[in-house]
Amino acid sequence: VDTTSFVSGHTFFGISHDFTFGEQTIMLDLDVIPGILLGFDGTKWIYTYGMDGLSAIPQGPEFTYSAGMTITMPAYSDIVLNGVNNNPDMVFFAWMDREGVYHYEDDVITVPDGGLTLTAVWAAVMNIDPTYTENDSNGTASKPFTIFNDAYLAMAALLKKVPCQAAAFRFIGNQIWDLDNNTGDIYAYASNSNHTNYQAKAFNLGVPVLYTADKDTTVVTMYSPSHVFYFASHTTTIFNGLTLLCNTKSSLRFIVNTNEYIYGSRFFMNTSKNAIGVDFGSLAMEEATVRIYGGTFSFVYLGTGSSQKICNLIVGNGTNEPKINLLCLNNSNQANQNYATINSGTISNLSFSYPGTAYNNNASMSVTVKGGIITHIRDFESAYCDYDHLLNSTRTLIFDGWNGEFTYAHKNIGPAADKPGIYANGLDHIQLINGASVKILGSPIYVKAHSEGIVFVDKTSSLKPGSLGFVGISNDFTSGETTVALSAIEKGLPMLWDGSSWFSTYGTPLGSSIRLISPFGIRFGFEADIANLESMTNTTVVKKGVLIIPGHILDHRQLSITTDRVLNIVATLPLSPSQPNVFTGCLIDSTESSTTAWLSTWKDVELYTRAYFMLSNGVTLYSSVIHNSIQGVWNTLDATDQL
């Protein structure tokens, strides 16, 4: 049955090979799955492929989706395709689009323009059952290997003969995965002066790898009570459809190196021994994404030492319920960009900090909360730090449509537990967008002065009654850490904190100059990072420009785009290609010709100006107002004569 058809009201029967008692039939007892071939081997119904004797690997199924649809990847992970004609058994691995990009079970995506076609990627599978007693193991479900090492070596041999796109290991029944057993030299161990063989990394099969089991409840015990507590991979690695128990030296840390990890919604943890965690600190690729759709994790450490690398974390897909006790930056010297999106599940402790005190950590951390439960959020992890704690980092917290509450905690971080810091420790950028409704308990969120730092609540979002809100940390530490509360939030306007006061302007006035070639005039310049503004407000800037008006006409009124008799100069081009964020507005006598007499006539007129930015949500932001005259510019040049 292909992916465009369905069967209803009918069933099928297979004719048994055993005619001892005449013709015997066996009714179809498997689900009819679109795009999956059903076969009858003479004794039972099976999912299979290659019955034409030509296909060495499964072909499809394939699904096509229209642009704009939001889809969850189809779930095929519990299907085993029985190999026939000496082909290997296969299990589902992922979906691949026509660009060669993999999409994994539990992923939720919005189909881009042009539509999306997904084709199933299948993994050759080796089965492992320690209770199997025959001496004819070949890795099939009927003839499994008894230990992981033999299965791994057999997989390496198979991949040299069959062009499989992925490999899988399927554990049948509860069993031990002995990380200390290096039969066949499958592991490379890492050691240091304190720990011997602390990391196990199996040799590279050259394809992505899936670890699964015959049932979700099958317990696989990763065993190394005296040595291993780091586990590393060469390629993308999936854990799904099994329960993991870690009898390792300490909590087992999954190391992100040249690979990504996907923990499916059918991945579970038996926590009777050690916990597990994920660590990005050894990332060797430019960018890596870890997806956590299932399981219970003690920690996830974002961050790596290279400023050129990007770490991405996806928690939940909106329906599944993974659990993470601590999500924070890594306990080492970090310098990169880190992004986490929480769609569902539970984060007990979201820390915009890192464990330990002896690290110079400059990594940036951006967390977007769309769903799930967040119990605690804080801006510290230790009582003090040998370095200025995350002073040069940007810490961003975005509530995107989230409805919930959490308890916030803040700490001033100094060089010793009993010595306060003389710099601001806080978040830089907080947004509530797309209908978010948030309640902050415990403490207001502390905000430090930063060029990108804002508190922004869009017109659809709000703080719940009783929420504690936000305070800005003063740059003046003469009397220790002091704060100024954000007393009122105007929806749709970004509220900026400059270290002394809250304000809702954007853009930097650069000053003024005289235009000394015809047409003569006076020019005012401004600088504004439009991409940053659009990112902060989750809008687009539809127009920007410069407003200019003589002071005697403004007459102490508010200067805006609706001010009567204001000159509104729309800025469409940057000052130059090398200064893309700088634009100017110029007041001149005539666009065709001008004389220096105009400069003399206007020389003492005080002109008031500001930049404006019209956003796609209908809000207009303004820079601060500056003013100057032609004579004032001349005086700045230290000229000795009057114009």
Q: How much is the CA Rg of the chain, to the nearest whole Å?
A: 32
- Measured CA to CA, the distance from residue 106 to residue 77 in angstroms comes to 10
Residue whose entry in the numeric block shows the structure tokens 């007499």:
597
Q: Which residue type sits at 184?
A: G
Q: What are the tens digits of pLDDT across the range 226-268?
A: 999 999 999 999 999 999 999 999 999 999 999 999 999 999 9
SS3 192: coil
Give the global pTM: 0.82
> What pLDDT was estimated at residue 593?
64
Q: What is the pLDDT of residue 27?
A: 78
Q: Burial, 182: exposed, middle or buried (Cβ in 10 Å; 0-12, 13-18, 19+)?
A: middle
C-alpha 252/C-alpha 94 separation (Å) is 26
DSSP string, 240-276: -SEEEEEEESSSEEEEPSS--EEE-TTEEEETTSB-E
76: tokens are: 């095929």
Query: Residues 201, 188: contact at Cβ < 8 Å?
Result: yes
Query: For residue 73, how far is the Cα from the chain centroid?
Result: 19
Element (H, E) at 554: helix 551-554
The secondary structure element, H or E, covering residue 472 is strand 470-473
| Burial (CB count <10 Å: 0-12, 13-18, 19+), residue 632 | middle
Comparing CA positions, the residue from 577, 597, 581 lying closest to residue 589 is 597
Q: Which residues of the chain have pLDDT under 70?
A: 1-10, 29, 35-40, 42, 45-57, 84-85, 451-453, 593-594, 638-643
